[in-house]
Amino acid sequence: MRKMVFAAVLVCIVLAVMPVIAVPVLSQGNNNPNKLLGAQTYLLNILGKKADWNGDPSYESTDRRTMFVPEDVDAFLALHPEYPDVKIWVKQGSDFSVNDPNVFDDGQANLTMGPGKYEVYFVALGKPGKTAELQGWIYNVTANEYLMYVGKVTVTHNKKPNWQSGYDIFWVSPSEAAAIGVTIGQDMWIFDFLNLLETVYPGTEYLYLWKLVSGCKHIQVRFYKIG
């Protein structure tokens, strides 16, 4: 009996001194990130429209946390060859805001994030079956060209919400940085990396964007401040 008690105490001691390894919420399956991280700092709704791509005047309201994009991106771009793709520019400022919610007038929308670093999660809501894809990119404004692909998030309408981590589009890895001649020791927050780029290559302006490759009825994005 005393051996059993000693063994139980020993196990408790070993567990107590073991290092804690952070596991991304993505690995938790279909869990709502609110249950793991608490209430979100900011919530963004990206609504896909099947028609009315001319844009209702109400789409221009920046008072809502909403953007309007085409549900069928390829069909929209076929009608508007003047737009090379659908861009959502993302920058950091003093607070969260949707500065330009309407993609239909110029193929672009704009989001400002608050200061700091965030865990970001994406989900597709609505009828099951439709899949949407957002790609994270660094854009060389001076050369007017895409510089570096950061990663992507793919979300699919399911019977139950299937939350996906946005880590891959918000953090730059050492191998990704090395591909454009920049050395970093570990994954770096995207906006810190943009600042580093402008130090390494002075006189060049860089911005961050999401490229909407395919849309769906409703993409919801939740931001949770972590630093």
Task: Work out the average pLDDT over 180-202.
Answer: 97
- What range does the domain containing 63 cover? 2-225
pLDDT bin (cut points 50, 70, 90) of residue 190 is: very high
Residue 55 has pLDDT above 70, yes or no: no
**191 and 172 in contact (C-beta within 8 Å)?**
no
Q: What is the mean pLDDT of residues 207-227?
A: 96
Stretch 36-55: mean pLDDT:
89
Q: How confident is the model at residue 205 (pLDDT cuts 50, 70, 90)?
A: very high
pLDDT band at 56 (very low <50, low <70, confident <90, very high): low
CA-to-CA distance for 42 and 25, rounded, in angstroms? 17
Alpha carbon separation from 141 to 144, 167, 206 (Å, rounded):
5, 24, 6
- DSSP code of 157? -
Total domains, the chain: 1
pLDDT band at 14 (very low <50, low <70, confident <90, very high): very low
- Among 25, 8, 12, 70, residue whose Cα is nearest residue 222: 25
Least confident of 6-15, 40-49, 153-162, 208-217: 6-15
Residue 105: CB atoms within 10 Å: 13
